């Protein structure tokens, strides 16, 4: 059985960078499942489809051909042969990803692909439903969170670094809106699995969070030499 680690949590909790850090330390794959929903959202936007039109979005899911490839251990997310990794981090795609991910027909297809990847290799998956739906038997499950204000502050600082001057108040508003959508959708809404360990990173450095998770993994799987 490959090693499987599940990390879930709301937007801006630091999941992606923490997951990258843990996966690098353990020398295992990191599957950013949000990137898959984002790639589909990009396809939906490009094709002029309304993300709120369930039947049309599910039809896109069949056509979009979302794929994941690893190059030197780093995930590349593709639509067919096109590498869209650099195009899926915009605000427009974020909002559309949140919208398209609420359709059951989309989720079942994404979950199928994610399970397939996790079955083949030691993998850490991060997302919203990994511990509650994708890998309910994962031996290590983490729910990573922080206060909305701290998450918005981190997101704001990240965006400023990239030259995006969206005001903090707007970042916080958009983050709260995405939380609402992700936590209240009908199918596998974002919530902590009963057997997940909750880590509140509000007052922790990224290194402290990585160390905490590594210790949990070692408790379950033993120390990797």
CB atoms within 10 A of CB 101: 27
The interface mask with ligand DC, positions 23-42, x = CB under 6 A, is ----------xx--xx----
Bridge-based pairing of strands 74-79 and 66-71 is antiparallel
**Contact stretch for ligand DC (CB under 6 A) within 48-56, 64-72, 96-104, 201-209:** 96-104
**Residues contacting ligand DC: total by CB under 6 A:** 13
Structure tokens given for 202: 């509000």
**Cβ–Cβ < 8 Å for 143, 196:** yes
CA quadruple 21, 65, 84, 185: dihedral, nearest 10: -60
By beta-carbon proximity to ligand DC, the closer residue of 28 and 190 is 190
Touching ligand DC, residues 104-163 (CB under 6 A): 127-129
Among 75, 98, 132, 201, binds ligand DC (CB under 6 A): 98
By beta-carbon proximity to ligand DC, the closer residue of 94 and 213 is 94
Scored b (16 or more CB within 10 A) or e, 185-201 reads beebebebbeebeebeb
- Residues in Cβ contact with 27 at an 8 Å cutoff, skipping those fewer than 6 apart: 224
By beta-carbon proximity to ligand DC, the closer residue of 186 and 225 is 186
By beta-carbon proximity to ligand DC, the closer residue of 183 and 218 is 183
Q: Which residues bind ligand DC (CB under 6 A)?
A: 11, 33-34, 37-38, 97-98, 101, 127-129, 178, 182
């Amino acid at each position: 059985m490959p090693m499987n680690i599940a990390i879930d949590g709301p937007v801006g909790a630091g999941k992606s960078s923490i997951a990258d850090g843990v996966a690098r330390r353990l020398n295992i794959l990191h599957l950013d499942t949000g990137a898959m929903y984002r790639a589909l959202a990009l396809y939906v936007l490009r094709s002029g489809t309304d993300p709120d039109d369930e039947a049309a979005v599910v039809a896109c899911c069949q056509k979009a051909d979302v794929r994941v490839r690893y190059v030197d251990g780093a995930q590349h997310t593709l639509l067919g042969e096109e590498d869209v990794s650099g195009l899926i981090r915009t605000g427009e795609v974020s909002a559309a990803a949140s919208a398209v991910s609420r359709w059951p027909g989309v989720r079942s297809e994404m979950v199928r692909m994610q399970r397939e990847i996790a079955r083949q290799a030691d993998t850490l998956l991060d997302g919203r439903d990994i511990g509650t739906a994708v890998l309910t038997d994962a031996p290590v499950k983490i729910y990573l969170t922080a206060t909305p204000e701290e998450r918005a502050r981190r997101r704001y600082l990240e965006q400023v670094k990239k030259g995006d001057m969206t005001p903090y108040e707007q970042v916080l508003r958009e983050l709260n809106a995405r939380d609402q959508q992700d936590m209240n959708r009908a199918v596998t809404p974002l919530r902590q699995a009963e057997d997940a360990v909750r880590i509140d990173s509000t007052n922790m450095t990224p290194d402290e969070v990585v160390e905490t998770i590594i210790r949990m993994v070692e408790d379950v799987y033993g120390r990797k030499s």
